[in-house]
Chain A
């Protein structure tokens, strides 16, 4: 559009006679207008000029070519598999299966198709780790265009295994999270090098970071770490000291462990009585000396606990349970019985429970995994249960299924079953899976028939969906027979809703596994 026309129009014809020369063929058209008002002439000239301009438009020179995406080396997942992943990325309901689906894709050497990449790159949270391996060359190429998608191109510290080549660079220049991730990986491959790295930056790091670094020592923890850890017991930060003490307590040959054992020996004495079995005497020191504090013992007890109880618990928790067997000659069962006769029972039991967990003592775990309450209910410690042999865990879990609903005011039977299921490694063994489904079917049928047990919200259904192996899907999808109790029809409906949700999820997982074969 001619500037003269625009400025004439802006000013208005009342202020200024419009200049209608455009030095284009339009001028002859304007000349042929004849008797028209100035306003009309200006508007028509502008209309013609607009057409003239638009007809004369040509494309501009493009900026220099950018490098296209490199060719893919892996195949795309099937359209149906991609559609399922798309659904899970959008829809909260099946999101829990997304990590499994992506892991399967990774193992099958598949990548996402291009159309799904923008949605995948927009994902947030933990799922990014699982998405990285399946983005393909195009995903990484595309991610470079959007700052929000940087996570896809940043050096992947792949949790599943090998140390990246630029590990040292990441350690020196990366973000907190990246440095810790690479340190954790290095601990697995070369603990000595990891130690060297940590020791070289120790004095300049903040307390929070020092604690996080210490926690990586849990990977491949060994006596080689002991000297450094022992030295950090003098650190000015209490959280750092606490982290070191916890680690050292797990090394039976460490100096701290030896000191704790000595303290324990001073505090506990054992005696075998002829007729009355074992006896434990507790002698706590009058005051806690500095070396106790250095080893991570806290003097201030948690709310509701006595100072002495707390002290005893901490000492016991730091000593391997089998030390007591060696020192006294008593069996774990005997020690348990003896503790019950003292006024220190709670502290002893809690201390032994913690010791069993950190020292992974199977015999003691078997005694302690279950905590009985006075009203006949009990709870399950999943960490301790997980230490037992798999056969035992499976048997205990099946027994818990049979208990559902019995004497259950608060839904605790579903709760303990949930804790037990948490302790089971996934996927479940097929024989267990089948037995679990049979037991659950039977129990649900009886419970509904009894009409006494109102269903409580529980995770066991989603746990089962995730943990059942594909061999058990057929069993899971067989119809569940629920007969209503005439006085309580809503009970049947509640269970039925849960079962319907369970079966739909199983079908989804089944389809997903079929679409992403390994």
Chain B
């Protein structure tokens, strides 16, 4: 690996990081230094033991320290060591904490490259190689799910009460085995289960639901060929297969409409520098709901901005599914909207829940769904519970946390509000300045 000290210095975000990194660029400050064909890694003793991994081909770094700089001084230290002496890192097998990261990155990179790669016709040798890889992957997943089934059976044999006292590694190790088996969707379900024991009084029922859902997924995969082709896509995606952008455009449903932005929110994946943004769109004429996902590393901004309450004309291509939801903007092109009237809204919470029920019946692994609710009022009860109340006098809980902006915007008066439902609570998709709230007389506030 031809990495020079100067090259490492240019990677540093500022001079202070570079010099701090140089101070850590001595093997004596590190434990568990290692490398293989794709990755470099090491553990650095700072105020705690920090784990650093570096992707060799892109120099993307990940460190468990809380620093907001990329690369942080620990990562720089590791790179300085390598630049000084490439043999300072022993060639060895990746420990679990490296493998988990590397595999996750591979899945993410594949997703991102799917967006960037132009649609080029495949050559025969390429197609053959691709099909070989696909077979290899299918075999890995088969094997992985077989071990998962055994593991699940063991778990239920012993009982959830016994699992209650297991440490998080019980779940996380199984998750990383699933990552190795290229079933990253299964892995993230397992990771979420790690947090369930003791998280609430009804945790056994919640954990059992999650385990049951996972078992259904594995069972469905077992006879996937008997399923409807559209549902087959959902099963594969739930397991962890991803599609490249050009595949989505080629195979998925296209819908042209004025798309009204209900709202967006973003979050960071635990321990990674990867941020995900979820944007929900509502077709003004078709009434279709779409979810656009975007990803960004570190402090990079997301490629497209979707201001809440704005509307743009576009063709969306949906991921093939029994209940198509996830979509991308075809060609990334959006033009001025052609409609001005209010977008279609859902009249009551029970109407929305009925829509969700119908969606779940068609796609059982659906995790969330959004809509534009009409004439709802945010409520803060005396017991400090946040609810959303509809004009039929029914209510559902709002997501954890405070919703002061929403309460201020509504003032106790009915508003139209985009929301996302995850099976347990409603997350408002807008609040604050760019509110897409429609007043009683349907005038649009905050139109971009």
Contacts and interface: CB of A to CB of B under 8 A. Distances in A.
A142 B408 contact: yes
Given A40-B153, A56-B357, A61-B395, A11 B413 contact: no
Interface string B177-220: 00000000000000000000000000011001111111110010
A318 interface: no
Interface in B385-399: 387, 389-390, 393-396
Contacts of A200: none
Q: Max chain B CB contacts within 10 Å: which of A6, A13, A46?
A: A46
A56 B208 CA distance: 18
A301 interface: no
A117 interface: yes
Interface stretch (B2-10, B122-130, B156-164, B251-259): B156-164
Given A60-B394, A62-B379, A138-B408, A40 B215 contact: yes
Interface in B300-314: none
Given A10-B160, A46-B208, A59 B394 contact: yes
Interface string A30-58: 00000001011011111111110111111
Contacts of A61: 393-395
B379 A63 contact: yes
A6 B204 contact: yes
Contacts of B377: 68
B233 to A, nearest CB: 19
Contacts of B332: none
Interface in B344-397: 348-350, 353, 356-357, 360-361, 364, 377, 379-381, 387, 389-390, 393-396
B168 interface: no
A45 to B, nearest CB: 7
A114 B409 contact: yes
B433 interface: yes
Contact of A66 (B156, B219, B412): B412
B265 interface: no
Contact of A57 (B159, B353, B379, B404): B353
B407 interface: yes
B394 A62 contact: yes
B404 A142 contact: yes
A63 B361 contact: no
A56 B354 CA distance: 8
Interface in A50-106: 50-51, 53-63, 65-69
A141 B411 contact: yes
Nearest to B156: A39
B360 to A, nearest CB: 5
A14 B158 contact: yes
B435 interface: yes
Contact of B157 (A12, A53, A54, A69): A12
A12 B394 contact: no
Contacts of A69: 411-413
Interface in B212-265: 212-216, 219
B405 interface: yes
Interface in A1-36: 1, 5-6, 9-15
B361 A55 contact: yes
Contacts of A55: 356-357, 360-361
A48 B408 contact: no
A62 B411 contact: no
A145 B433 CA distance: 21
Given A9-B156, A44-B216, A1 B435 contact: no
Given A12-B162, A59-B353, A47 B396 contact: no
Nearest to A82: B433
Nearest to B431: A115
Contacts of A285: none
B396 A60 contact: yes
A115 B205 contact: no
B148 to A, nearest CB: 11
B432 interface: yes
Q: Max chain B CB contacts within 10 Å: which of A11, A53, A56, A118?
A: A118
Nearest to B215: A43
B408 A46 contact: no
B423 interface: yes
Nearest to B154: A39
A361 B340 CA distance: 72
A54 B153 CA distance: 24
Contacts of A42: 156
B377 to A, nearest CB: 8
A65 B387 CA distance: 12
Given A43-B156, A55-B360, A63 B381 contact: yes
Contacts of B408: 114-115, 117-118, 138, 142
Contacts of B160: 9-10, 12
B152 interface: yes
B379 to A, nearest CB: 7
B205 A6 contact: yes
Q: Max chain B CB contacts within 10 Å: which of A11, A12, A45?
A: A12
A67 B412 contact: yes
A145 B162 CA distance: 43
Nearest to A83: B433
A54 B205 CA distance: 13
Contact of B159 (A9, A46, A58, A146): A9
Contacts of B348: 59
Contacts of B213: 47, 50-51
A132 B413 CA distance: 23
Given A11-B161, A54-B423, A114 B153 contact: no
A15 B361 CA distance: 34
A60 B395 contact: yes
B159 A44 contact: no
A10 B412 CA distance: 44
Q: Max chain A CB contacts within 10 Å: which of B154, B209, B210, B364?
A: B209
B156 A13 contact: yes
A117 B433 CA distance: 11
Contact of A62 (B149, B161, B393, B404): B393
B411 A51 contact: no
Given A62-B379, A63-B387, A115 B409 contact: yes
Given A10-B161, A43-B215, A115-B435, A37 B153 contact: yes
B159 A115 contact: no
B394 A115 contact: no
Contact of B405 (A48, A50, A57, A115): A115
Contacts of B431: 115
Contacts of B390: 59, 62
B209 A63 contact: no
B386 to A, nearest CB: 10
Nearest to A43: B215
B413 A68 contact: yes
Contacts of A1: 205, 208-209
B407 A10 contact: no
A76 to B, nearest CB: 11
Given A15-B159, A62-B390, A118-B405, 11 more contacts: A9-B211, A12-B159, A12-B161, A14-B158, A39-B154, A43-B152, A43-B156, A46-B208, A59-B353, A59-B395, A69-B412
30 contacts: A9-B208, A10-B204, A11-B161, A12-B157, A14-B157, A39-B152, A40-B215, A42-B156, A46-B212, A47-B213, A47-B214, A47-B216, A49-B212, A55-B357, A59-B353, A59-B390, A62-B395, A63-B381, A63-B387, A63-B395, A65-B389, A67-B412, A115-B405, A115-B408, A115-B409, A141-B412, A142-B404, A142-B407, A145-B380, A145-B407
Interface of A: 1, 5-6, 9-15, 37, 39-40, 42-51, 53-63, 65-69, 114-115, 117-118, 138, 141-142, 145-146
Interface of B: 149, 152-154, 156-162, 204-205, 208-216, 219, 348-350, 353, 356-357, 360-361, 364, 377, 379-381, 387, 389-390, 393-396, 404-405, 407-409, 411-413, 423, 431-433, 435
User: Which are the 6 A-B pairs with shortest beta-carbon distances?
Assistant: A12-B159, A68-B412, A47-B212, A46-B212, A50-B209, A62-B395
